[in-house]
Structure 1
């Protein structure tokens, strides 16, 4: 039996809604973010059914921890290893604001002064994925974290450069599922939005 890796991005915050880059700043979920986190828990349970669960890892930021709680997950490890990309001096700024002084800036193509490089984020992703792969024979693994870091995780899972994460969307409270086909890394599902429980199909 081989488990799957589930990525759950935290629910909406005021800064995720406004497009402000959020790494170290520890801000709470909005009311909508809490509601969607609960819906994500129902969606996750439906996707996983009754498969064994080997590990649940969360970023230490309250937006991730609260999302895990509302989704009905019991976190077994809290670690900075799955924290968001450190934006350094660009913390709290939106891309249009940064581009007022750095034309054409994106996190994928330009540096974050005082923060992490794409290569550094990729190294963190590679390290956590090495641990995950060792545990997947025991069951599913769930990582509760952040948008940019999770997009780097998807790229790294596929053997791509960290900056290839630009090609994968991951919205607030969305779920992605990574696995393999006969040993070849594969995206099983990407950016699955949480459906309100009332919208779930019933027999």
Structure 2
């Protein structure tokens, strides 16, 4: 099996509930958000599940606490090697996992700039008042005072190159004749945010961001790239 990238959006927050764009603002998960992430972890993470901890080589995490807490709640025992102080309690014992954990700015959420903390209808109203028209598409227009599609593509392409060079290429080059790995499995886990993960999927398939995403990823949602 070819190595995979599992993408997980952080769990529910108060702002994700009411549609407010949350980039740099560091807010916690709701109690319900934590509960749902735990349920997702129990269903999808394990030796006979979609995400097999023993096959994970590396974990990339956003610098935002809501993403880091989501990883904590998946109950992976990385031998305590988390590059942050825990944001809450977790169940013990965890599932053994030798993957390294890396916090990277390349997978932080889209910088919404002037649109931080407000909803899409509010953004459209503001743009109309500014003479920019009623329509707004982040994949085409970006965010004044924040990031534009070219900025996002640049940092995501850098991350994709890192994944393929460090983790996937070694796994693909160490295949037995039957196609099974003789070396590292090469699976990677990324825990981050809604817009940036949808953008990652576009760049992974070599599509331009202005093409727009082909899928939704709800709070706590899981996807697979190969």
TM (norm. structure 1) is: 0.83
Structure 2 counterpart of 1:157:
204
Structure 2 counterpart of 1:36:
36
Structure 1 counterpart of 2:72:
69
Structure 1 residues 107 and 50, CA, compared in 2 at 3 Å: closer, same or farther?
closer
Q: CA deviation at 1:18?
A: 0.5
2:146 is aligned with 1:115: yes
Bigger fraction of residues in strand? 1
Alpha-carbon distance between aligned partners in 2 of 1:83 and 1:163, rounded to the nearest angstrom: 20
Alpha-carbon distance between aligned partners in 1 of 2:18 and 2:44, rounded to the nearest angstrom: 26
Deviations 1:103-136 (A, max 9, x none): 1112123231110001111111111111111202
Structure 2 counterpart of 1:124:
155
Between stretches 108-117 and 45-54, larger displacement belongs to: 45-54
1:24 is paired with a residue whose SS is coil
Structure 1 residues 164 and 72, CA, compared in 2 at 3 Å: closer, same or farther?
farther
Alpha-carbon distance between aligned partners in 2 of 1:39 and 1:152, rounded to the nearest angstrom: 26
Structure 2 counterpart of 1:9:
9
Alpha-carbon distance between aligned partners in 1 of 2:43 and 2:154, rounded to the nearest angstrom: 30
Between stretches 69-78 and 89-98, larger displacement belongs to: 69-78
Between stretches 16-25 and 156-165, larger displacement belongs to: 156-165
Map residues 40-51 of structure 1 onto 2, 5 A cutoff: 40-45=40-45, 46-49=49-52, 51=54
Q: CA deviation at 1:51?
A: 4.9
Q: Which runs of 5+ in 1 are unaligned?
A: 180-203
Among 98, 104, 113, the residue aligned to 2:135: 104
Q: Which runs of 5+ in 2 are unaligned?
A: 83-100, 128-133, 172-183
2:139 is paired with a residue whose SS is coil
TM (norm. structure 2) is: 0.75
Structure 2 counterpart of 1:81:
106
Structure 1 residues 167 and 58, CA, compared in 2 at 3 Å: closer, same or farther?
same
2:201 is paired with a residue whose SS is helix
Bigger Rg, structure 1 or 2:
2
Deviations 1:149-192 (A, max 9, x none): 0001000111100233432211111110011xxxxxxxxxxxxx
2:55 is aligned with 1:52: yes
Structure 1 counterpart of 2:179:
none
Alpha-carbon distance between aligned partners in 1 of 2:24 and 2:34, rounded to the nearest angstrom: 20
2:140 touches 2:209 (CA, 8 Å); kept in 1?
no
Alpha-carbon distance between aligned partners in 2 of 1:65 and 1:88, rounded to the nearest angstrom: 22
1:8 is paired with a residue whose SS is strand
2:125 is paired with a residue whose SS is coil
1:154 touches 1:165 (CA, 8 Å); kept in 2?
no
Q: CA deviation at 1:41?
A: 1.6
